[in-house]
């Protein structure tokens, strides 16, 4: 029960921490703790089309080896300008180098070499100019698309590579972080088991953001306000965005609303993809997938409004949960609404949904009215951006476009971290999305490398 390094969470941040440590020091005793399941045991009845969500105690979409990224679209955004805040801690040149290393590692474990989009081209420049003329910013970011199905294969190879080199325990929920004299000392699991180590790396992912926030408060760590992203997932015919997705695969569009001067952005675009539900501690939210080997007739993407609160309120995670709970209360889960019904101030019904031209890929969403769920400010920002998007992609703002709600991205309140992502407790590191440092696969993976390289420099 004594290790050199304990890593809490086996998402991309935790995996890359372990990969980096053991590639340089194979003799290290490393323990990875994961409250979810092994990659081969992560079976979701919704994703497989077997049945509706059965509310597993630990959602197999969000928890387990690979983290939420295992069931994501598997997009590697190869730019320091998107996907996180790691540039606050390290130089641009080092971040560029880390992004290249992360991409090379995914390729080494089986990511497709030929599925790279968004590289500089005449077509891309023309799309950026079109967006700019309509008060939108199209962020230029090379994207390597792995696909949800191939992403599983890549993560399986990573697991097989590490399972004989490190100790991996699934179904192990960490209750408390142990510290003595402001130094990391190990962890205590929910079953009371105590495991000691000189170094602890916290990589709980977005699903563990709430736990990390509570533990940071208990340990007296300085916590900084972070944004919470709340919005909807939009679904429409794939042809509407084909001229964008063909060039960029994931068009990252930013908009500054006229009414409230808030930033609204597209996120997680899934060409020919599928909308899915996620279950998070008695809470249903919505997300999207896209597969490399199978396609639907629809494309889906999130429209998110970023909100950063000022005093006296400092509970952004609770705020996001409250909005999602309201949707669950009104719709017994996820709500879906035709955009035309929203504009007319009426709820969608099964009959109106059936007459629509866009067939929902999420079958057990409840037709309803999202105006009873989302705050007016958020709804006004979203409808305003849909109008802007329609000017560069006619058909986005059509009556049959579907809105699913709600989609919430939880990030832990930012901890005060050093340049090597160490907290105010010595040898206690916080990495990945759950720590609020990253917002995507690439920068989450890179944070693991940053922490691991610092740990290696300290070990005898």
Tens digits of residue pLDDT in 430-457: 999 988 899 889 999 999 999 999 999 9
Contact present, 312 and 364 (Cβ < 8 Å) = no
Per-residue pLDDT for 412 more than 70?
no
The DSSP bridge pattern shows strands 402-409 and 228-237 to be antiparallel
The pLDDT value recorded for residue 361 is: 96
Q: Report the sign of the C-alpha dihedral through residues 4, 9, 170, 175, in that order.
A: positive
CA-only gyration radius of the chain, Å: 21
Per-residue pLDDT for 149 more than 80?
yes
Per-residue pLDDT for 459 more than 60?
yes
The pLDDT value recorded for residue 52 is: 60
Tens digits of residue pLDDT in 56-114: 777 777 789 998 777 767 889 999 988 889 999 999 999 999 999 999 999 999 999 98
Contact present, 146 and 114 (Cβ < 8 Å) = no
Name the token pair of 129.
């100019």
- Please give the angle made by the CA atoms of 193, 198 and 204, to the nearest 5 degrees: 65
The DSSP bridge pattern shows strands 428-430 and 194-202 to be parallel
Q: Report the sign of the C-alpha dihedral through residues 100, 103, 107, 109, in that order.
A: positive
Name the token pair of 152.
């599983």
What does the alpha-carbon distance between residue 448 and residue 452 come to, in Å, rounded to a whole number? 6
Name the token pair of 121.
């081209």
Name the token pair of 17.
């921490």
Per-residue pLDDT for 140 more than 90?
no
Confidence label for 227 from pLDDT (cuts 50, 70 and 90): confident
Architecture of domain 2-111+146-223+414-458: 3-Layer(bba) Sandwich (3.50)
Residue with tokens 């597209």: 266
What does the alpha-carbon distance between residue 237 and residue 110 come to, in Å, rounded to a whole number? 31
The DSSP bridge pattern shows strands 263-270 and 223-224 to be unpaired
Per-residue pLDDT for 378 more than 60?
yes
Read off the pLDDT of each residue in 270-299 and give the average, rounded to a whole number: 88
CA distances from 357 to 236, 250, 297, 335, 353 (A): 9, 24, 11, 18, 9
Share of the chain above pLDDT 90, in %: 73
- Residue 306: strand pairing partners: 229
The pLDDT value recorded for residue 172 is: 93
Average pLDDT score, the chain = 92
Q: Which of 106-110's residues contact partners 24+ apart within 8 Å by CB, and which partners?
A: 106/76, 106/144, 106/146, 106/154, 109/154, 109/157, 109/158, 109/161, 110/150, 110/153, 110/154, 110/157
**SS3 track for 231-281:** EEEEEEEHHHHHHHHHHHCCCEEEEECCCCCCEEEEEEEECCCEEEEEECC
Confidence label for 416 from pLDDT (cuts 50, 70 and 90): very high
Read off the pLDDT of each residue in 419-428 and give the average, rounded to a whole number: 98
The pLDDT value recorded for residue 222 is: 92
Helix, strand, or coil here: 136? strand
Residue 426 burial class via C-beta count within 10 angstroms: exposed 0-12, middle 13-18, buried 19 and up: middle
Read off the pLDDT of each residue in 329-337 and give the average, rounded to a whole number: 94
Per-residue pLDDT for 158 more than 80?
yes
The pLDDT value recorded for residue 36 is: 92
**Residue 238 phi/psi, 5° resolution?**
-60, -30
Helix, strand, or coil here: 299? strand
The DSSP bridge pattern shows strands 183-189 and 335-338 to be unpaired
What residues contact 16, with CB distance under 8 A and at least 6 apart?
102, 105, 444, 445, 446, 447, 448, 449, 452
Tens digits of residue pLDDT in 175-214: 999 999 999 999 999 999 999 999 999 999 988 888 998 9
Per-residue pLDDT for 314 more than 80?
no
Positions of E strands within 364-455: 366-367, 402-409, 414-415, 428-430
Report which of 321, 276, 330, 282 is spatially closest to residue 302, judged by C-alpha positions: 276
The pLDDT value recorded for residue 13 is: 97
Confidence label for 370 from pLDDT (cuts 50, 70 and 90): very high
Helix, strand, or coil here: 80? coil
Helix, strand, or coil here: 66? coil
Helix, strand, or coil here: 137? strand
Read off the pLDDT of each residue in 275-304 and give the average, rounded to a whole number: 88
Helix, strand, or coil here: 435? helix
Report which of 357, 312, 344, 348 is spatially closest to residue 330, judged by C-alpha positions: 348
Per-residue pLDDT for 47 more than 60?
no
The pLDDT value recorded for residue 354 is: 94
Confidence label for 45 from pLDDT (cuts 50, 70 and 90): low
Q: What is the distance in angstroms between the CA of the first residue and the CA of the last residue of the chain? A: 20
Query: Which residues in the chain are classed under CATH 3.50.50.60?
Result: 2-111+146-223+414-458
């Amino acid at each position: 029960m004594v290790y050199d390094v304990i890593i809490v969470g086996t998402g991309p941040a935790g995996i890359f921490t372990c990969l980096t440590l053991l590639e340089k020091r194979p003799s290290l005793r490393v323990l990875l703790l994961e409250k979810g399941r092994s990659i081969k045991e992560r079976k979701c009845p919704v994703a497989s089309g077997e049945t509706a969500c059965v509310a597993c105690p630990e959602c197999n979409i969000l928890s387990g080896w690979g983290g939420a990224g295992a069931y994501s679209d598997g997009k590697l955004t190869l730019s320091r300008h998107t996907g996180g805040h790691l540039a606050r801690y390290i130089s641009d040149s080092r971040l560029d180098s880390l992004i290249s290393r992360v991409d090379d590692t995914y390729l080494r474990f089986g990511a497709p070499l030929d599925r790279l989009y968004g590289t500089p081209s005449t077509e891309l420049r023309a799309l950026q100019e079109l967006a700019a003329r309509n008060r939108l910013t199209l962020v230029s970011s090379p994207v390597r698309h792995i696909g949800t199905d191939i992403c599983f294969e890549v993560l399986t190879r990573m697991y097989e590579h590490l399972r004989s080199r490190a100790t991996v325990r699934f179904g192990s929920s960490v209750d408390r972080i142990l510290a003595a004299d402001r130094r990391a000392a190990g962890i205590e699991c929910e079953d009371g088991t105590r495991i000691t180590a000189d170094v602890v790396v916290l990589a709980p992912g977005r699903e563990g953001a709430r736990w990390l926030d509570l533990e940071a408060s208990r340990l007296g760590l300085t916590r900084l306000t972070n944004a919470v992203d709340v919005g909807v997932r939009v679904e429409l015919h794939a042809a509407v965005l084909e001229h964008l997705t063909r060039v960029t695969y994931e068009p990252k569009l930013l908009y500054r609303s006229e009414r409230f001067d808030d930033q609204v952005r597209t996120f997680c675009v899934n060409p020919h993809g599928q909308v899915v539900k996620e279950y998070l501690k008695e809470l249903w939210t919505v997300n999207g997938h896209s597969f490399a080997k199978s396609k639907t007739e629809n494309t889906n993407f999130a429209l998110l409004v970023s909100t950063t609160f000022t005093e006296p309120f400092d509970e952004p995670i609770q705020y996001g949960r409250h909005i999602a709970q309201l949707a669950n209360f009104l719709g017994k889960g996820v709500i879906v609404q035709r955009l035309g019904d929203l504009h007319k101030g009426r709820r969608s019904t099964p009959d109106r949904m059936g007459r629509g031209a866009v067939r929902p890929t999420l079958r057990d969403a409840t037709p309803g009215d999202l105006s009873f769920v989302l705050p007016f400010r958020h709804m006004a920002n979203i409808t305003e951006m849909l109008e802007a998007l329609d000017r560069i992609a006619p058909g986005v703002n059509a009556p049959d476009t579907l809105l699913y709600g709600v989609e919430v991205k939880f990030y832990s309140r930012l901890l005060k971290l050093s340049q090597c992502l160490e907290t105010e407790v010595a040898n206690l590191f916080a990495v990945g999305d759950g720590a609020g440092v990253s917002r995507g696969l690439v920068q989450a993976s890179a944070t693991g490398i940053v922490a691991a390289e610092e740990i290696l420099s300290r070990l005898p």
